[in-house]
Amino acid sequence: MPDLTLTQQFTMIALNAQRSLEMTNAKKVALRCMAVAVILEVYLDSGFTQDKNKLVLKKDVLNHSHSIRYRETILQPLGHTIGDLSGWLKQASLLSKRKLIEFEHAISDTLKEMSLLEEIPHILGCDLYFHSAGVEIKGYRSHIQEYTIITEHIRAEILEDGTVTDETICMLWLLRESGCMHDFFSRNELEQVSARMYRLHQANPLGKALYRIRIHRGIELAIKQFLRMKKVAVKTPVGSGLNFLFPILERSQSVFIDTEAMFSNSTKRLHDVRMRLESMGHAVKVLGDGTIPIIKIDNTVYEAIPYATYGRVPIHGVRLLPIHPS
């Protein structure tokens, strides 16, 4: 197992399941935070010197950044002196869309070379309407085992008593700023995490410097959170989510897979769904069967809820709803 840098680790979390060819709102939020992770990585590696209340980037870091291309794409446009840590982080988060795309290619290429990231057909492409229309959508998939190790390591460090490493302190802040906390911690755990972050803010120098800084853009994060909120707004006996009522609002969160037989039993239905997903290159693992099976597709766990759409003829199938934390 390779030792990954902070940026590489966060990228594996942030880019997983994002669409690779289009710039979606969620990907923009992820890329801004990944760019900021580069600054934190250099900061942890003592790449800055303190000059009064300003942080100055060491010349050798900039000169040698070409050997780590993803660092170069962020550090080159920023220059040597910006301000304190907050100033550096904010500037990195404000890079133009063109720079962010350049950075995305640089960091994803690094991970692809290590076989830790790949581009596969996006799960949305399995949806009845996209699949039957022949629309091809590509998405990123992080190496499943490595993804689990990174996320479980963060959980272990923050939920256990004892020392928290600088990398985990940064990771938690990045997860907070990218609005990803709910993906990895349950509601009860979030209370523990919040208390722990407060203690780190009080007692740890890095926590004190970092946790007061906010770089997220309200509107972008609000859109992202709204799309998630509407999912829990409606609970029905067979599932939860406004997607049941208005699936068009965010199709990526609500994939409908049609099954071949009209009134399939649950085993046959699951088999059909599995076939469709696997034919599109997804890794499928059934965690629990029954009327509403729980299936892990790549790095996300879904409920496969029996569903039907009605047009001229009813089409039976399942609707996939993600479960968080996975």
Partner 1 sequence: MSRQRSMETILASEFVSIGELVRLTESRYSTLKFYTEEGMLSFEQAEENLTRKFKRQTTVARILLIKELKSNGLSIPQIKETLEMDK
Binding site for partner 1 (CB under 8 A): 1-3, 44, 145, 148-149, 152-153, 155-157, 159-168, 206
Cβ-based burial of 15 (10 A; exposed 0-12, middle 13-18, buried ≥19): buried
Q: Which is nearer to partner 1, 156 or 261 (CB)?
A: 156
What is the rounded (10 degree) CA torsion for 176, 179, 181, 184? -140
C-beta of 317: minimal distance to partner 1 in Å? 31
How far, in Å, are 226, 241, 243 from residue 233 at the CA level? 10, 6, 9
Q: Which is nearer to partner 1, 10 or 130 (CB)?
A: 10
C-beta of 130: minimal distance to partner 1 in Å? 33
Q: Which is nearer to partner 1, 245 or 286 (CB)?
A: 286
- R_g of the chain, CA atoms, integer Å: 21
Query: Strands 235-236 and 239-240: what pairing?
Result: antiparallel
Distance CA 77, CA 81 (A): 12
C-beta of 18: minimal distance to partner 1 in Å? 24
C-beta of 1: minimal distance to partner 1 in Å? 6
Q: Which is nearer to partner 1, 75 or 200 (CB)?
A: 200
Q: Which is nearer to partner 1, 87 or 325 (CB)?
A: 325
Could you identify the residue written with the tokens 């992820």? 30
Q: What is the DSSP string of 41-64?
A: HHHHTT-EEEETTEEEE-HHHHHG
C-beta of 205: minimal distance to partner 1 in Å? 8
Question: ∠ CA(274), CA(277), CA(280), 5° rounding?
Answer: 145
